[in-house]
Structures are given as C-alpha cells and as structure tokens.
C-alpha cells in the first residue's frame, strides 16, 4: 500500500516583488504519512507549514523535489480523489448557504446526487450545523464557518484529511470538536495531516510529528521518541551525604544535585539511569525513589527554537 | 461534466447574490424604462430612438458587466482563497477556469435575456416595425460578451484586475475600430500600413459582431454576416480560454 503522503527533497523558493527577490520558504524536506496515522506538522509562524501543505495540494509548485498522495504525483488531479482539506482561516463563497457550499463540495468530490444528499446531511449533523444550514455563510460566525469547512472536508469519507491550523481562533467547544473529529477519522482508518503551533493538541492527537523550523525538519518521529531524548529521572538516595554519592558516580551523570535532610536528590538522563542505579546499589546506598520527568513537547520545541535562533510564536 | 455543472451553478448563485451585479441589472432595467419616457418627449423619429437608445444602453451595460465580472473573478478567488477549496478537489485547473467562464456566461445570458424582454416590450408598446437586425444585434452583443469574458479571464489569469481591465478595454476599443484604423494607417505610409494590416488580421475584430448600426438604420443582417460574427467570437474565445488555462496551470496560489 502506498503512503498517504510522501515528500522527497521538497523545497520552495518564493519570488517576491518586482525584482523577484528570493524567499526560501522550504529547504529540501522529506517525510511520509502512513494510512491510519495522525501526523502533526509543528513549528513557529513562518516555519513553512502552510507552504508544505500547499505543495501537497498542488496550490503551490515546488521548486525542487516531488510530492505524492497515495502514490500519485500531486500534479495529477486523481491524487486528490480521496482528500479533505481545510485551509488556514478559510474564506468560503460567502453568498452561498452552508448547505449549498456542501452540495458544491459533494459535486466536486464526484458523488452522485443521491449519495451527495446523504453525505451532506451526515456531515452537517456531525458538526452540529443542521440548524444553520440554510443561512448564507456571510452571516456565520468564525466558529460556524470553520465547522462548515470541516464538514466539507469530511464529505465522501476521505482517506486523507489535511488541516491547516484547524484549532486556532476557535472557542473551547470548537477545539473539542476538531479533536474529536481527528480521533474519529483515525479510528476509521483515515490519515490526518495537520499543522499547528498549539502544543497541547499535538501531544493529545498525534502519532508522529515533524518539527519544522526555518523551512527544514528539525526532528521527525513518534511523539514518545521526540520526548524520550529529553526524558530525565529524579533519583532520591536516603541516609547519605553528597560526598558518598559523588564518589560512586561520574560527575557528568549527575545534574541539579540537592541535599535535603539527609537525603540526596539529583537528576539523571534516561540513557544513564541503569548504570547510575547499579553503581549506587553496589556501593551500599539506599535508593528510595525514582521519578521520571517527561519534558513536555513544548520544552523540546522551545529548545529547538533556541538552538536555531528563530523567533517563535507559540500558544 | 458534473463538476463543471456544480461549479457553474455555484458561480451563478454567487454572481446573482452579489450586490454589484444586482445593482447593475436594476440600473439597466431602469435606464431602459427611462427610454420610454424620453421617447414620449421626443418629436423625432420614434423608431430610431427606441432601437438606438435601447440597444446602446443594453450593450454598454452588458459589456461593462462582462469586463467587470471576468477580470475580477480569478483575482477575487485567489485573494479570498476560495480557490483553495475548489482546486483541492480532484479537478484540474483547466476545468476550474472553464467552469468559471461558463458561470459568467450563464449569468450574462440571463441578464441579457431579461433586458431583451424589456426591450421587446417597448418595441411592442410603441409599435416599432420589427426587423431581423434587432435580434441580430442582441445576438451580436452576446458574441461580444462571450469574447470579452474570455479575454477578461485570460488577462486576469496572469495579472491583477486593473491591468487586466485595461488590456481588455484597450483591445476592445482597438477591435471596434480596426477597420477605420486600417484605412487611416494605410494613408499615413507603407510601414504603418503594414502594421495596421497585421493588427487588422491579428486582433479580434469586434465590429464584425456589432449589428447595432444596421438595426438603427433598419437594414437587414444576412445569415452570412451573423455567422461570420459568431465564428469570430467563438474562435477567439476558444483561443483566449486555452491560453488562460495554460497560464493558470503552474501559477502559485498564495
Ligand atoms: N506567497 C508568498 N510569497 C512570498 N513569501 C511567502 C509566501 N507565503 C509564505 N511566504 C514565506 O514563506 C515562509 C513560510 O511561510 P508559511 O509556509 O506560511 O509558514 P507557516 O504556515 O509555518 O506559518 C515565511 O517566511 C513566509 O514569509
Ligand atoms: Mg501557516
């Protein structure tokens, strides 16, 4: 089976202004999204997330590299046969009603008239917009518009859904709906690719993420892996002095050492924990507590940002 | 085909609900109705005023509307990013352009039909003798709209709305007077004459689709003349639309 999304050496240089000044939005990047996977593209504003998505939808022509959806080159309209997409801050045809907009989407998706009717009813109900279906979109609030756009992306039960900043600017209820929809899509075996700078969504939803900074992928992998790099453990040794502990361990292994009432507390990196414990126990000390501390994704994100000297926008 | 249909329908719905279109249409109907009043006041030949003024107003308004709708359409879609929601479906960009073009023509045809109905009522009301050049003039106007919209779509697929409008209006004016320009240029000298001859054959000749003079003078329009106008329009329109789809193919939507 083909991956839902494949990018190989994809880069994009925009030309702006009269003189065609070059703006490198995307350095060559590679990644894949597999069927049934929720993939998060994360990064600060201007990292190139939307550009990546636009290349995948053939809205923007890549400068180098190839992109494929379900094994078909993105220049081929058939690559979009089973796709749902919601752009960043979408502005739909405001003179159409929500219902008419969805009928249009169903028609474009190639559904027959009978199927279209059922699908439109289903998705309207799913986003809880049946009541407002006949209202013109220009009369909708931002949240209502986003709901109808999401409904449009669900038409025809797509195998791949691409969402650009789906939760930004939504109220808690709207965010909740987006999260539920993403999880529902995954349960039904669809792949979801979404980009965001809101870390809590990522941790809650994604199977894998790619951290995009300044147009290149800084890190890519399962969330647990991204976080494991930076996992540390707090170790507590009872009835011991600082000197006793340090005598048994290499100085590099010990961080943030404190002594509190005959107890020594310090931090150890995930990779060194087993060796450190062996040394302590063999040396006759009593380890009374080990507490794993997961550095949240947000920290990883900020750390990556600092090392790349990029201004970051984070919510 | 189905995709073309739903897109054209949505485009038509958008257009008729757009205030600008509605205002122009109402304005046109009011103006045409006003001719009725004007005619009651004139002592001159009534027939001539009805045909001349009615057809003149109709063509001026419809032509402005065709240019307005076609040059603004692609840019409006790109600017407001509505195009993202369409071309992210399994649909080629060429189809998108053609559907938009069809949508514009459906809207213009309906408006032209409404205006023609008012015009026909007037003719009937004032007992103006009917003449085959009257429907021919309206048909000719439709041919001009077909070509103007295609030109508008073409120019707006590569530039902003104002540049596109200037190009279309420029070509339209030159196209109105290619024959006259030709005559003048030939008189001026051999070089300008050659340029003008090239222009005469290379630029779309709108005069071939304009049967208003015949209608005003009460002259008939032969089938040959009409087919010539229709052919010119269809041929050029095809060329412009194919050009537009090629230009649009690799354009970045930002
Ligand atoms: N149409 C465009 N023309 C020129 N530069 C652009 C255009 N769109 C985006 N960029 C630039 O490309 C970079 C990436 O933008 P974008 O993909 O929108 O980032 P993100 O979605 O991650 O916020 C930014 O530096 C932005 O200024
Ligand atoms: Mg973005």
The answer to whether residue A311 is domain-embedded is no
Collapsing DSSP to helix, strand or coil, A92 comes out as coil
A163 and A281 assigned to the same domain: no
* DSSP state at residue B177: S
**Could you tell me the two tokens for A164?**
């650009």
So what's the pLDDT on residue A229? 58
Write the CA distances from A53 to A48, A199, B93, B158, integer angstroms: 9, 19, 18, 23
Contact state of A80 with B90 under an 8 Å Cβ cutoff: yes
A24 and A158 assigned to the same domain: yes
Q: What is the CATH number of the domain that holds A155?
A: 3.40.50.300
Measuring from each residue's beta carbon to the nearest atom of ligand 1, which residues come in under 6 Å?
Answer: A 14, 16, 23, 25, 43, 45-51; B 254
ipTM summary value: 0.75
A238 and A195 assigned to the same domain: no
A83 and A222 assigned to the same domain: yes
A176 and A250 assigned to the same domain: no
A143 and A279 assigned to the same domain: no
A24 and A65 assigned to the same domain: yes
Residues of B in contact with A85 (CB under 8 A): 84-85, 88
Considering A227, A252, A286, which residue would you say is the last residue of a domain? Answer: A227
A112-157 tens-digit pLDDT: 888 999 999 999 999 999 999 999 999 998 889 999 999 999 999 9
So what's the pLDDT on residue B105? 92
Residue with tokens 């779309």: B204
CA of B254 to the centre of ligand 1 (A): 9
Nearest by CB to A107, from B2, B18, B85: name it. B2
Indicate the number of domains in chain B.
1
The stretch A245-263 carries a mean pLDDT of 87
> Domain span at residue A241?
232-294
Q: How confident is the model at residue A296 (pLDDT cuts 50, 70, 90)?
A: low
Rounded Cα gap, residues B39 and B45, in angstroms: 9
A91 and A11 assigned to the same domain: yes
Considering A227, A258, A276, which residue would you say is the last residue of a domain? Answer: A227
Q: What is the CATH number of the domain that holds A290?
A: 3.30.70.980
> Domain span at residue B156?
2-250
A71 and A174 assigned to the same domain: yes
A208 and A249 assigned to the same domain: no
> Are A199 and A296 spatial neighbours (Cβ–Cβ below 8 Å)?
yes
**Could you tell me the two tokens for A292?**
């794993």
B153-206 tens-digit pLDDT: 999 988 888 999 999 999 888 877 777 777 777 777 777 777 777 777 777 888
A57 and A164 assigned to the same domain: yes
Indicate the number of domains in chain A.
2
pTM, two decimals, is 0.79
Neighbours of A247 (CB within 10 A): 10
So what's the pLDDT on residue A315? 38
A250 and A175 assigned to the same domain: no
> Are B10 and A93 spatial neighbours (Cβ–Cβ below 8 Å)?
yes
């Amino acid at each position: 089976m083909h991956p839902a999304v494949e990018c190989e050496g994809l880069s994009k240089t925009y030309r702006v202004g009269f003189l065609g000044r070059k703006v490198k939005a995307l350095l060559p990047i590679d990644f894949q999204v597999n069927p049934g996977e929720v993939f998060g593209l994360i990064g600060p504003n201007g990292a190139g997330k939307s550009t990546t998505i636009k290349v995948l939808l053939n809205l923007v022509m890549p400068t180098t590299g190839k992109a494929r959806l379900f094994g078909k080159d993105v220049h081929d309209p058939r690559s979009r046969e089973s796709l749902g997409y919601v752009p960043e801050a979408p502005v739909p045809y405001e003179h159409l009603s929500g219902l008419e907009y969805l009928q249009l989407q169903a028609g474009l998706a190639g559904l027959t008239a009978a199927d279209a009717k059922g699908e439109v009813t289903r998705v309207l109900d799913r986003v809880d917009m049946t009541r407002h279906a006949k209202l013109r979109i220009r009369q909708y609030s931002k949240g209502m518009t986003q709901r109808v756009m999401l409904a449009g992306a669900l038409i025809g039960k797509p195998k791949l859904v691409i969402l650009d900043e789906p939760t930004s600017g939504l109220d808690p209820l709207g965010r909740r709906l987006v999260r539920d929809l993403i999880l529902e899509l995954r349960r039904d075996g669809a792949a979801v690719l979404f980009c965001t700078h809101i870390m809590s969504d990522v941790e809650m939803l994604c199977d894998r993420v790619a951290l995009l900074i300044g147009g290149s992928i800084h890190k890519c992998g399962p969330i647990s892996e991204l976080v494991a790099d930076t996992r540390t453990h707090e170790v507590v040794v009872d009835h011991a002095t600082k000197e006793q502990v340090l005598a048994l361990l290499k100085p590099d292994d010990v961080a943030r050492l404190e002594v509190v009432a005959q107890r020594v507390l310090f931090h150890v990196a995930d990779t060194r924990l087993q060796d450190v414990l062996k040394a302590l126990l063999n040396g006759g000390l009593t380890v009374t507590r080990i507490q794993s501390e997961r550095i949240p994704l947000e920290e990883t994100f900020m750390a990556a940002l600092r090392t790349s000297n990029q201004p970051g926008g984070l919510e | 085909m189905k995709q073309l249909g739903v897109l054209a329908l949505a485009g038509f719905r958008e257009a008729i609900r757009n205030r600008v279109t509605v205002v122009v249409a109402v304005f046109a109907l009011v103006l045409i109705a006003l001719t009725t009043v004007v005619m009651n006041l004139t002592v001159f030949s009534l027939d001539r005023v009805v045909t001349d003024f009615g057809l003149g107003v109709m063509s001026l308004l419809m032509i402005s509307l065709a240019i307005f709708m076609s040059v603004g359409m692609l840019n409006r879609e790109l600017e407001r990013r509505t195009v993202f929601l369409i071309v992210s479906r399994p649909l080629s960009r060429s189809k998108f352009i053609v559907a938009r073009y069809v949508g514009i023509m459906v809207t213009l045809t309906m408006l032209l039909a409404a205006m023609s109905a008012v015009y026909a009522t007037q003719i009937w009301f004032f007992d103006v003798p009917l003449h085959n050049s009257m429907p021919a003039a309206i048909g000719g106007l439709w041919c001009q709209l077909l070509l103007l919209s295609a030109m508008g779509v073409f120019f707006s697929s590569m530039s902003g709305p104002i540049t596109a409008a200037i190009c279309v209006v420029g070509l339209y004016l030159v196209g109105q007077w290619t024959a006259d320009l030709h005559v003048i240029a030939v008189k001026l000298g051999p070089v300008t004459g050659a340029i003008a001859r090239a222009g005469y054959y290379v630029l779309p000749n709108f005069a071939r689709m304009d049967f208003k003079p015949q209608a005003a003078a009460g002259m008939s329009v032969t089938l040959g003349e009409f087919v010539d106008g229709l052919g010119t329009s269809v041929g050029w329109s095809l060329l412009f639309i194919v050009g537009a789809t090629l230009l649009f193919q690799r354009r970045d939507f930002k």
